[in-house]
Structure 1
């Protein structure tokens, strides 16, 4: 059942705010401090999976999970005097001092906030690309707590993080219940369900709440958004829109981004014509060879995006028939594996999560090289 945020103020408090507004309108238009604003919703422009509201010094966030479920959080600064909230939710004192991340994009979001020193645990060293994080794992500053199905509960109890960030649906019911019984707070993050690249990045505003860095996150997001939109303005105005096949092979089928997915949005913003743009799926779609052939044979470009590292020839050998595709014959075949470490961890799925403007420019350079002659792709080759 959905729970809706509702702030309840006494008549005296309401009267105070009305009086304050009247006095402000009569006097000069002096900017109000952020913490003095009455109940308002913080502007989230692209993300659809969370909302943030404020009521004076109180900040409330609602995360939209799966099957209509929601989780709410109330944030307040440590040692501050708080009135009893009217919201039934998890109360969180900020800033947090110790956190565990069970997904590498969460590490990048925290790293972007310059709070990496607060990370004390992760899944295992093979799940991370960031060299600085790997150094901390080797030195024992960051612990390997295990994967979702085999968490080291004893270790988690010993290090006792303030929060464990995990992806939605990744935590088994058994582990979730055990963590709750051990008084270990888990924060489910459905950021990977967002359908816009900037919507994924905008989760930095949610993470910022845990470290009391709202203004820093807003400034960083605005700068990246500006860069992204500038690139998109250039590419989308291009006269020619090359057609594109995108996806990867898995167990004999072609897995392609749905027409309403974040990657389909990237292709559109990069000035390309995605061959499955009319599909209504926000996740992935699975296609057999005949379906791939019917639309992809004459496509101008072939973009391979995959989680598991593979070389070009490995991909081509998985389905030799695609060698006859126009894109392959013309050597317009690109892969998102330009940054892969010795363990096979692909930085596209890690740092790329917080650099949509770089990924967009990479794609813009591929499809419209005349617009970005000085840009060398970072994530694609």
Structure 2
């Protein structure tokens, strides 16, 4: 997969005198290799992966939307636009307290889950747009919705591997909701925080070695060296054991292969959603052979969890700065003595 890029380009806007109508305007923003949008002659042109969209002035900003992925809720909440949401799928996975309250009040409807969407309910709600990751097996459902005049917008933010590019999707949501300035301000704030934290991490006297993820069955799925997790670890000034790997996806290894690489590991992060080391060991006794399990520190991503909902996969998608801050606190606690972890939690 091509490496992601983040470009912000300002374009010339031509106007006549105050009493004359705007002749043309062109403003283009590139979020990453996956997503770019451009406003020209009153039409917003959006490219997202293999999909393109043209929105006329009378179509945006959207007033009624449906979310089919919990991660999308993070952007909505960051912009304070929860009231635009009229439907969600799998509400049990949504962390947002405001969205949960609107569900209880009946202002947001449950439209099914990734096994089966309630198409009739979706059509009855008449949303301006539906936001979802693209799932090929649902192409017939998507086409049915489109045939009934509903915009289905595919945004695969989970494929972005550079943390700030994932954050930058907030600009697109701002554009579609008529909150351009607010979205740009939010992005700049998070970007500034992130870059300042990266500089802070460089002040650390040590650069510890880090292991990530866990085993499923007989296979350990480690983040590739160019994944989001690997980039966070690098930006937090630590050595990820697969830092020289060039994959943007998970790399599979046996326990023996990981064991051979893990002798100097001091921190184990993203180790699933276990509740204790004892419980972790009961799931896989092999973990007890690792130095990091016995002498190091192990962290899971359950710091903000409520039942099945985990805010790491919601607000954490947007707040790259807070995720990085957690990693720095873990690897270099002396740099952030008063900070309490947001998304991560140490296993005892």
Structures share fold, TM-score greater than 0.5: yes
Partner residue, 1:48: 33
The 2-side partners of 1:50 and 1:260 are apart by: 19
Q: Residues 236 and 268 of structure 1 are in contact (CA less than 8 Å); yes or no, is this contact kept in structure 2?
A: no
Write the distance in 2 (CA, Å) between the matches of 1:247 and 1:352.
17
CA contact (8 A) 2:210 2:269 kept: yes
Selected match of 2:174 from 180, 184, 208 = 208
* Pair 1:157–1:56, CA change in 2 (3 A): closer
Q: Deviations over 1:168-219 (max 9, x none)?
A: 2265223223222333221111111001111111111111221111121111
In 1, the alpha carbon distance for the partners of 2:294 and 2:115 equals: 44
Residues 87, 111 of structure 2: 8 Å contact kept = yes
- Does residue 1:132 correspond to 2:135, yes or no? no
State the TM-score, normalized to the length of structure 2. 0.88
Ranges of 4+ aligned residues in structure 1 off by more than 4 Å: 35-38
Matched, 1:311 2:275: yes
Match of 1:30 in 2: none
Aligned residue for 2:290? 325
Structure 1: distance between partners of 2:136 and 2:323? 26
Match of 2:132 among 160, 166, 186: 166
Post-superposition Cα deviations, 1:264-291, rounded to whole Å, max 9, x if no partner, equal 1000001110001111111212221111
Mapped pair 1:74 → 2:54: yes
User: CA RMSD, aligned part only?
Assistant: 2.3
Is residue 99–residue 121 contact of structure 1 (8 Å, CA) maintained in 2? yes
Q: CA deviation at 1:54?
A: 3.1
Aligned partner of 1:300 among 263, 266, 278: 266
Partners of 1:158 and 1:206 in 2: how far apart? 27
Q: Distance in 2 between matches of 1:59 and 1:76?
A: 6
Structure 2 counterpart of 1:262: 228
> Unaligned stretches of 5+ in structure 2?
1-11, 17-21
Contact (CA 8 Å) 1:249, 1:315: kept in 2 or not? no
The residue that corresponds to 2:331 in the other structure is 367
Higher radius of gyration, 1 or 2: 1
1:247 and 1:256 mapped to 2: Cα distance? 6
Question: Is 1:334 the equivalent of 2:299?
Answer: yes
Report the Cα distance in structure 1 between the residues aligned to 2:119 and 2:158, rounded to whole angstroms: 26
Q: How is 1:135-150 mapped onto 2 (pairs within 5 angstroms)?
A: 135-150=101-116
CA contact (8 A) 1:149 1:175 kept: no
Distance change (3 Å), C-alpha of 1:36 and 1:378? farther
Cα drift, residue 220 of structure 1: 0.6
- Provide the C-alpha distance between the structure 2 equivalents of 1:322 and 1:74, rounded to a whole number of angstroms: 52
Contact 1:302 1:334 in 2 (8 A): yes
Residue range with higher mean Cα deviation, 358-367 or 161-170: 161-170
CA distance 1:149–1:236, shift in 2 (3 Å): same
TM-score (norm 1): 0.81
Conserved in 1, the CA contact under 8 Å of 2:274 and 2:300?
Answer: no
Instruction: Tell me whether 1:241 sits opposite 2:210 in the alignment.
Output: no
Report the Cα offset of residue 257 of structure 1.
1.0
Alignment partners' CA distance in 1, 2:120 and 2:135: 23
1:262-281 equivalences under 5 Å are 262-281=228-247
Q: Comparing 169-178 with 250-259, which one deviates more in the overlay? A: 169-178
Which whole-Å deviations, capped at 9, do the CAs of 1:36-64 have from their partners, x for residues lacking one?
A: 875453354xx331112233544322112
Give the deviation of 1:304 after TM superposition: 2.6
